[in-house]
A and B are shown apart, each in its own frame.
Chain A
Amino acid sequence: MIEIKRLSYRYPEVDQPILRDVDLWIDEGDLILMVGPSGSGKSTLLRCLNGLIPHFYGGKISGSVRVAGLDPFEQQPRKMASAVGFVFQDPEAQFVVDTVEDELVFGMENYDLPQATMRKRLEETLDQLNIAHLRHRRISTLSGGEKQRVAIGSVLTLQPQVLVLDEPTSQLDPQAAEEVLTVLQKLNADLGLTVILSEHRLERVVQYADRMVHVQGEGAPLVVGEPQEVLRQIELTPPLIQLGKALRWEPLPFTIKAARRHARKLALPAEPRVVEEPAQPDADEPLAPVDIAVDDLWHSYDGHPALNGVDLRIHRGEFVALMGRNGSGKTTLLKHMVGLLQPSRGSVRIREVDTRHSTLDELIRTVGYVPQNPNALLFEDTIADEIAFTRQNHGLPAIDPEDLLAPLGLSGMGDRYPRDLSVGERQRVALVAILAAEPEIILMDEPTRGLDYVQKENMTRYLAAERDSGRTVVLSTHDVELAAAAVDRVIILGEGEVIVDGPARQVMSESMVFSSQINKLLRSDRYLTVADVLRDLGLGAEA
């Protein structure tokens, strides 16, 4: 179905080729999972399949590519559309018209298909993707997962033989990602569609993949093979597979069900509980001073309630994760903690200062808030300038940017242009831009969205170090593994109320949804992470 021979490519005005002598063969009907660190060339390779490279980007290309008998270098991407459907990362930026039905027929109109064919394919596509109930909706009113399913539908109506998706779930929360991945698996299984998917969340798709392609980057050859073989060779793996690798399980378990067979044979200590009593959130606790006090907080947007009577105390030096599904009020609560929003009722006090009686400029001296989208922050020509901008605004003296960059693994990058960085690096630069003001309380909205496993781990380690140095860290996240690895306390919100609030270990081991892979496997509050298990087995942290 796809045959790539000795493909090399260099972007215009770049010295190093991003792809060098790539060979790849993909059979019809396979589901291919493409992995690799950010910036390794996954997106580039995918764009060669429908001719966006070189037709759209220019640059220097050699070698050959054949997709369904067509040569994408000769054909324009618009001619390739009937063979290759391409879905992009950002669900916001791929729609032309404003209703679902119109979006789905856009491609067919471009191909001048007969009216009857359009109708038939439209109905079929709506059913295949389970989006018939959305057909008359405006795209702007859809959730992220629904948008991505519409984007998939909009290319499927041209009935391509290959569906290519470039990190389609990296901007989505776990439920939405699940919706999208389930659809892909179904399309592959039921229709025999060849699916090529680049994806960070291996845990949800690896069991369906026929083969994996690891793009190592920097011109290194691809690693291609059965998921079993490839996963053994790469670092970027979900916790379950990490555990399997550390304990040399054969075959590597891709699902929790598969891992249970191995787990039963583990000689783990019998006593299940390490946390006995739920911590009492009483005022007389001998804890560190209260940094954030939220009392009976209510908030609504244009009459739609977002927070309904939230009560919270967050102490100095705590590392807290706010969890809950989309729209549960996490971001709203965080925005109250920095004074971006004012309570409709109740109060928020930051170190005894009521947010209603102080200005944003006063509050941001104590609180640093890192928004979800790093692109909203970065505008200077260099990272060092970004740091200088924040410090100047706060009336702080200039510092050596390296002091802030080194701990985040951005050493020596002070002169780089922020927009040229990978998603993970941008996220860290955004953090640096806020931390430059030396806040004592750090708030972060979804800091690990779009990051790969290695980047996530770096971010987690960094935040834990900040907590250890006495800062208070509060973040909203969907990422259970992050919460399991580093957080002290988990607060689960639902419909604008606090549903559960307690030590991370306890909350996560009692939850069905908000628990880590390892915890789902072993169902004991002793075990949230791979390190927990290895410690009890006396294997240390060698994995």
Chain B
Amino acid sequence: MVHTIAWLAWTASAAVAALLIRNPFYLGIVALSAGLVYATVGENAPLKAGWGGLLKLGLFIWTVTIPMNALMAHTGNIVLFTLPQSWPIIGGNITLEAVVFGAASGLSLWTLLLIFAAFNLAVDASQLLRVTPSFLYQAGVVTSIALTFVPQMLISAREIREAQRLRGHRFRGLRDLLPLFVPLLTTSLERAIQLAESIESRGFGGQLVQLDDRGMSRLRWYMVAGLAILLWGTFSRVYWSQRPQLGTLLIVLAIALLVDTFREMGRHVRRGRYSRGRWEAFDALTLAVSGAVLLGCVSLRLIDKGALNYYPYPPFPLLPPFDGWIGGLLALLSLPGWIRLQPAERTPMHSSAIEAP
């Protein structure tokens, strides 16, 4: 089990890499690393990882990006075929370069999906809930409940549909929605009431250390002021783009004010956070590697714009360059995948010995 914070770092760094890189060789390395992580995380995840959906999604992305790019960009030396010039927009040469570039763009999107799929498998909603800032906590619980509510509603909806069919109900027009909608609504409401009772009976809502009215309205004013200054700063940066200093200053000020307000609000939420995994050496390693990749990608981008980029159209070569160092750095993203290939020694399985009959 990798710690949630380490997972967040890994995801952020891999996602930034996938967004900055256009070079298909490097993207391929990031995709392979994410794929390895996805596969190994999937082995232990309660939700089994399936490749079918992801591959289908990838194919779908390419069926959009490749034809789009090929039909729109008509530059390149290797002409595959030509569409009549009289056709608007799509008329002209269809080149191999455009096809390859379309494929590379698709790969970047798919890699991003793969990274989030792995993250989704590795970290569940409640773990994420625990790393959300305190002032967002209640909103977080509501989201978590909504997430568990949706599947239950789908099951109810199917049951209701079946039950009404058995009474001869047929769907012919909007009016026929009523026999389906009313039971779904009442069932959901009844369930919601019981859930509310259940969480109330377990101490939920007791975490807000009451602020007096003055304190509360003071914080509200700070928040309004912060947002107003933020808006003003953004506006002035856009409007007086030659002299952005004032705008930048205002934005920094607004962010500082908002952060302080949120921190203050967070102090009034008293709630424990149960941490399932302990922070261990491997988590630190994952964090370090993620940081290194992130730093590497961002600095390369700043120092040498072409290093990660890919532009197959002439005069640039169709085959992108490859630097072993960069490739090696990106391959580090596969780290959480390697460790999980070893037997999971950190999940306590001894307790299953006293399984109920």
Seen from chain A, the residues whose Cβ lies within 8 Å of a Cβ on chain B are 47, 50, 52, 56, 76-82, 84-86, 88-90, 92-99, 101-102, 105-115, 118-119, 122, 126-127, 130-133, 135-141, 151, 154-155, 158, 179, 338, 340, 360-361, 364, 368-369, 371, 373, 375-379, 389-390, 393-394, 419, 433-434, 437
Contacts and interface: CB of A to CB of B under 8 A. Distances in A.
A133 B351 contact: yes
Contacts of B241: none
Contact of A94 (B194, B270, B347): B194
Given A375-B186, A379-B179, A390-B167, A110 B151 contact: no
A77 B203 CA distance: 7
Nearest to A157: B202
Interface stretch (B65-73, B156-164, B259-267): B156-164
Given A99-B124, A340-B162, A390-B167, A132 B179 contact: no
Interface in B124-160: 124-127, 129, 141, 144-145, 147-148, 151-152, 156, 159-160
A108 B274 contact: yes
Given A78-B206, A108-B272, 11 more contacts: A52-B201, A78-B205, A82-B203, A84-B201, A97-B144, A109-B271, A109-B274, A114-B272, A361-B168, A376-B183, A379-B182
Given A112-B207, A141-B46, A155-B201, A93 B195 contact: yes
The 9 closest A-B pairs by CB, nearest first: A393-B168, A132-B351, A110-B203, A379-B182, A94-B198, A107-B202, A78-B206, A97-B126, A376-B163
B203 A140 contact: no
Contact of B274 (A95, A115, A135, A139): A115
B50 to A, nearest CB: 13
Given A376-B187, A419-B186, A115 B144 contact: no
Contact of B276 (A50, A101, A155): A101
A16 to B, nearest CB: 22
B273 interface: yes
A434 B205 contact: no
Given A379-B182, A394-B168, A97 B200 contact: no
A364 B166 contact: yes
B308 to A, nearest CB: 38
Given A78-B206, A108-B274, A130-B354, A389 B167 contact: yes
B169 interface: yes
Given A99-B126, A375-B187, A389-B167, A136 B207 contact: no
Contacts of B178: 379
Contacts of A79: 203, 206
Given A115-B274, A133-B351, A378-B183, A97 B201 contact: no
A389 B175 CA distance: 13
Contact of B195 (A94, A158, A338): A94
A459 B111 CA distance: 60
16 contacts: A52-B197, A77-B200, A78-B201, A86-B197, A97-B129, A98-B148, A109-B271, A110-B203, A137-B46, A140-B151, A158-B203, A364-B168, A371-B163, A373-B159, A377-B183, A379-B183
A88 B194 contact: yes
A153 B311 CA distance: 59
Interface of B: 46-47, 124-127, 129, 141, 144-145, 147-148, 151-152, 156, 159-160, 162-170, 178-179, 181-183, 186-187, 190-191, 194-207, 270-276, 347, 351-352, 354-356
Contacts of B166: 338, 340, 360, 364, 368-369, 371, 434
A77 B144 CA distance: 22
Given A86-B201, A90-B194, A371-B162, A138 B46 contact: yes
Contacts of B145: 96
A126 B351 contact: yes
Contact of B272 (A98, A109, A140): A109
B178 to A, nearest CB: 7
A229 to B, nearest CB: 32
Contacts of B163: 371, 373, 376-377
B159 A93 contact: no
A505 to B, nearest CB: 30
Counting chain A CB atoms within 10 Å of each CB, the highest count among B125, B152, B159, B167 belongs to: B167
Given A90-B194, A133-B355, A419-B186, A377 B164 contact: yes
Given A98-B147, A109-B272, A112-B270, A88 B198 contact: yes
Given A78-B203, A88-B197, A132 B354 contact: yes
Contacts of B356: 130-131, 133, 179
B205 A92 contact: no
A111 B191 contact: no
A96 B194 contact: no
Contact of B200 (A52, A101, A114, A132): A52
B204 A110 contact: yes
A338 B270 CA distance: 55
Contacts of B148: 95-98, 139-140
A331 to B, nearest CB: 11
A132 B170 contact: no
B46 A107 contact: no
Given A101-B276, A111-B206, A130-B356, A360 B165 contact: yes
A107 B203 contact: yes
Nearest to B162: A340
B201 A77 contact: yes
A107 to B, nearest CB: 4
Nearest to A145: B356
Contacts of B196: 56
B95 to A, nearest CB: 45
B206 A76 contact: yes
Contacts of B190: 93, 375
Contacts of A158: 202-203
A132 B201 contact: no
Contacts of B179: 379, 389
A384 to B, nearest CB: 15
A155 B200 CA distance: 11
Nearest to B183: A379
Contact of A376 (B151, B159, B203, B354): B159
Contacts of A113: 272
Nearest to B159: A376
Given A99-B126, A126-B351, A371-B162, A393 B170 contact: yes
B334 to A, nearest CB: 25
A110 B168 contact: no
Nearest to B127: A102
A88 B356 CA distance: 23
A338 B354 CA distance: 43
B194 A136 contact: no
A437 B347 contact: no
A141 B151 CA distance: 12
B151 A433 contact: no
Given A82-B203, A115-B272, A132-B351, A56 B156 contact: no
Contacts of B352: 132-133
A377 B141 CA distance: 31
Contacts of B159: 371, 373, 376
A81 B202 contact: yes
B346 to A, nearest CB: 12
Given A99-B126, A433-B167, A90 B141 contact: no
A379 B124 CA distance: 36
Contacts of B124: 98-99, 102
B203 A136 contact: no
A393 B203 contact: no
A99 B343 CA distance: 22
Contact of A136 (B46, B125, B151): B46
A136 B347 contact: yes
A195 B275 CA distance: 31
A179 B165 CA distance: 36
Contacts of A98: 124-126, 144, 147-148
B201 A81 contact: yes
Contact of A97 (B125, B152, B355): B125
